[in-house]
A and B are shown apart, each in its own frame.
Chain A
Amino acid sequence: MAILEIKNLSVTFGGIKAVQNVTLSVDNGEFVGLIGPNGAGKTTVFNAVTGVIKPSGGEVVFDGQVLNGMRPDKIAHLGIARTFQNIRIYPKLTARENVEIGVASIPKYDTISAMLRLPHVRRWDKEVKEISEKYLGQIGLMEYKDVKAGSLPYGIQRKLEIARALATQPKLLFLDEPAAGMNTAEGLELVDFLKQVHEMTGITIILIEHHLEVVMNVCSRINVLNLGQLLFTGSPEEVQKNPEVIKAYLGERRK
């Protein structure tokens, strides 16, 4: 059963057609790749689905609900989470506090109770703290829990961003080039890590990558985007053999 259906999605910025008529669907529990050369429109697809930018045409249906025109925080509460191509962890919060934002994006107590620090506030804060540490433990970041996120090594920051996204208990997780800026060894370690996360949680994952090796390794199905259009959808083997994909990767300039 499809959890996400993108129908004829188009996004334009001024004169640029960043995404043109893209139709794709993702099944529940799948681990799909979205690849394509730089500027192909991959991030823009994520932005359109998560409500960050308004599509100029088409429809996005998630879990039976139309997402068009919905506010990003509402979309998040429906069960979509994401990471960013350029990391957006909160540098001045500790690793645990970063995850706490994902666990409790809407505090369960009002402003006045918070100021008076009433017993139910303390209790709930403690609960959020414990849940956050559980996520950090799952991802293997427990040792960094009290470290300011901004001072963590790059690879750990990437993992922390994923932990924070998982803490919102999503049904669908978008990962935007999590291996960007990593060397091959780190990239391969991340691949293993992503496989583990997928097996452990069973959630649907859509992975953007422009390093083919990474996607080939983990995704059961790959969508290839080029110049804003969906070029091809298929298994890693099919993608590797497809002459059009090869051509796109050898580089064809946007007209």
Chain B
Amino acid sequence: MGYLEGISISICINIVCVCGIAILTGYMGLFSMGHACFLCLGAYTSACLTKYLGVNYFLSLLAGGAVAAAGSVVIGIPTLRGKISGDCFTIATLGFGEAVRILMANIGTNLFGGATGLSGLEHFTNLKSSVVIAVIAIILTRNYARSQHGKIALAIRDYADASELLGVNIFHEKLKALMISAFFCGVGGGMMAHYYVYIVPNIFGNTMSNNLLTSVVLGGVASITGPATATGMLTAMPEAFRFLDNWRLSIYGLTLLIIMRVRPEGLFAYKEITAPFTALYRWIKAKALKPAAKA
């Protein structure tokens, strides 16, 4: 497998995760510092299903997403209710993320492999399916964002009290956004497991959570394709600047700093990059029409 192909697959996996977090952070205005734990839950679920039960890869990804979404309810119910502030949610996710990672290293060792992790997974994740899943993730989350749910999320973000007095059930809407974000992270985790064919709890740590959050913040609020593009850039950039050696991380940091100073709401705030999707739509339509025309 080529080097470029590897980076492309990583980008696709990150896009899947970031699309979900864009709903939670870019629309609902909730910041999570522990979303790597949902990748962790998804990765282990999906890996165990294919490894021990021979479940179909794509089904295992869905199951991974579902388990991650269910896990998010555990942290969502106590922290999103009532008048608890968003900061409290952020701190709680930080703790929850660590707790899940440590739990996975210590429970069911004969099943999950403890701190040494799970190995010998099949290499199911390829570029073609990853691209398709990433595009689907963008379309699904974009649909959600432009639905009434997405508008309500922005309303809650701007004035929670006023929204509640219009009849919005804030707790329900926040919980839905959290579950969606966890679901897509869970799917991404499953893809990751079958790409590295080996997972250990430690890769799902703070660094991963921070990178995901950085992509969303950099990509821009109230946008799906913005964060998706940003995560592509952030994944490729350290690779592209590899020749700079140790300087690359400083440059990475500096770039982020400058962008956030110039565009505090993110690069593509309130914008969607639609051109590739309309082109894709036309292409599919043309392909679908061709056989019909022949007949």
Residues of A within 8 A of B (CB): 50, 52, 71-73, 75-77, 81-82, 84, 88, 90-93, 97, 100-102, 104-107, 109, 111, 114-117, 121, 124-125, 128, 164-165, 168
Contacts and interface: CB of A to CB of B under 8 A. Distances in A.
A240 B61 CA distance: 72
B166 interface: yes
A82 B222 CA distance: 27
Contacts of A100: 148, 151
B165 A72 contact: yes
Q: Specify which of B143, B148, B155, B270 lies most central, judged by the most chain A CB atoms within 10 Å of its CB.
A: B148
Interface string B110-153: 00000000000000000000000000000011011001110110
A101 B166 contact: yes
Q: Specify which of A102, A111, A165 lies most central, judged by the most chain B CB atoms within 10 Å of its CB.
A: A111
B115 to A, nearest CB: 36
Interface in B154-177: 154-155, 158-159, 161-170, 176
A92 B158 contact: yes
Contacts of B170: 73
Contact of B168 (A88, A106, A117, A121): A106
Given A81-B165, A92-B270, A106-B169, 20 more contacts: A72-B164, A73-B164, A73-B169, A76-B164, A84-B162, A88-B159, A88-B161, A90-B158, A91-B158, A92-B222, A101-B152, A101-B155, A101-B163, A102-B167, A105-B169, A111-B180, A115-B143, A125-B147, A128-B148, A168-B166
Nearest to A164: B166
Contact of A52 (B155, B158, B163, B165): B165
Given A104-B148, A114-B143, A114-B149, A93 B155 contact: yes
Chain B binding surface SS class: helix
Those 5 A-B pairs whose CB atoms lie nearest each other, nearest first:
A105-B167, A88-B162, A76-B167, A114-B147, A115-B140
Q: Specify which of A76, A107, A128 lies most central, judged by the most chain B CB atoms within 10 Å of its CB.
A: A107
A90 B164 contact: no
Nearest to B176: A111
A115 B170 CA distance: 19
Contact of A90 (B143, B154, B179, B180): B154
16 contacts: A50-B165, A76-B165, A88-B159, A88-B161, A92-B270, A105-B169, A106-B169, A107-B147, A107-B148, A109-B147, A111-B176, A114-B144, A114-B147, A114-B149, A116-B143, A117-B147
Nearest to A94: B151
A168 B148 CA distance: 15
A147 B56 CA distance: 48
Given A73-B167, A105-B168, A107-B149, A115 B144 contact: yes
B34 to A, nearest CB: 22
B204 to A, nearest CB: 25
Contacts of B270: 92
Contacts of B162: 84, 88
Q: Specify which of B149, B161, B167, B176 lies most central, judged by the most chain A CB atoms within 10 Å of its CB.
A: B167
A116 B179 CA distance: 16
